[in-house]
Structure 1
Amino acid sequence: MTTNVSPLVDKWFRMWNGDLALVEDVATPDIRVHATKLDGGELPLVGREELTGWVGGARSAFTTLDYALEVGPVVEDDLVAMRWSAAGVYGGGIPGAAAERGAKVAFTGMDILRVVDGKFAEYWINSDLHVMLAQLKISA
């Protein structure tokens, strides 16, 4: 892929940082998300509406949650890979969490995204969710 993906990646991080109106700019209408649920199962998400709900839901448990690009983007053909970090403050609402409101969390992850016609069409996320769960005192 010879296209500069930096503007798309910038919007992707702005979306994860709370500007959910950008979902339409960064994702195809039928984007497929491959992620792990808190209980370890596969999270089947398809479409912008489900992506918006998932990102909004993830953010809703935190009073602040800021994502930052650490490495990348690395681009090969139609794939974009990057490593990110997230830091925030727990606001409550995650079932099974024993952490007090105001507890600080920090975790990292890697995304691989497939680009079609200048937007992300498929998304694989691999994060150290276990680190966040431990910080929130959620036992498996």
Structure 2
Amino acid sequence: MLDAWLRLWNGDYDKAQSIVSPDIRVHAAMMDGSDSSSIRGAEGMVAWISQTRAAFPDMRFSEEVRPLVDGTYASVRWTVTGTYAGGFPGAKAEPGTVVTFTGTDTLRMKDGKFVEYWLNSDMLDLLTQLQVG
């Protein structure tokens, strides 16, 4: 399931319905200041991921540390690299700037689907590379 999760973030939306619960709860600091609890189901996840990928169309997530699994919980440390396409509020970086940052996804599974998601990413590193100030 974690492989499918990383593929989802890499833009492969085909299996979203099969791994994301309609009742998923997302716990994340949203870039626009909105409430992450408004993200619902596979459609909401795909919309959020698509919005993120619009600023970094070629972004590629890779596993940095092997996943840790404990019962219904799993955690994966990742690195993402992508080319900035522009449009990020407050960014002074030129389109074409390559960025790399890290994060950790912690997920709770139930009945073969992800039902809860905590995102912790190094936004300071990303914002520094994008020259947001």
CA distance in 2 between partners of 1:38 and 1:59 (Å): 13
Q: Does 1:95 align with 2:89?
A: yes
2:14 corresponds in structure 1 to 21
Deviates more, 1:107-116 or 1:39-48: 39-48
Deviations 1:8-67 (A, max 9, x none): 111111110011222112211111111002256652222222111101100111131000
Residue from 10, 24, 32 that aligns with 1:31: 24
What secondary structure, in the 3-state scheme, does the structure 2 residue paired with 1:28 have?
A: strand
1:110 alignment counterpart = 104
CA deviations 1:57-93 (Å, max 9, x no partner) are 0011113100001112111121001100000100111
The structure with the largest strand share of the pair is: 1
Aligned residues: 132
Q: Percent identity?
A: 44
Asked if 1:138 corresponds to 2:126, the answer is no
Query: RMSD over aligned Cα, in angstroms?
Result: 1.3
Q: Which residue of 2 aligns with 1:5?
A: none
2:40 aligned with 1:56: no
| Corresponding residue for residue 69 of structure 1 | 63
Unaligned runs of 5+ residues in structure 1 are 1-7
The aligned residue for residue 124 of structure 1 is: 118
Q: Distance in 1 between matches of 2:103 and 2:56?
A: 18
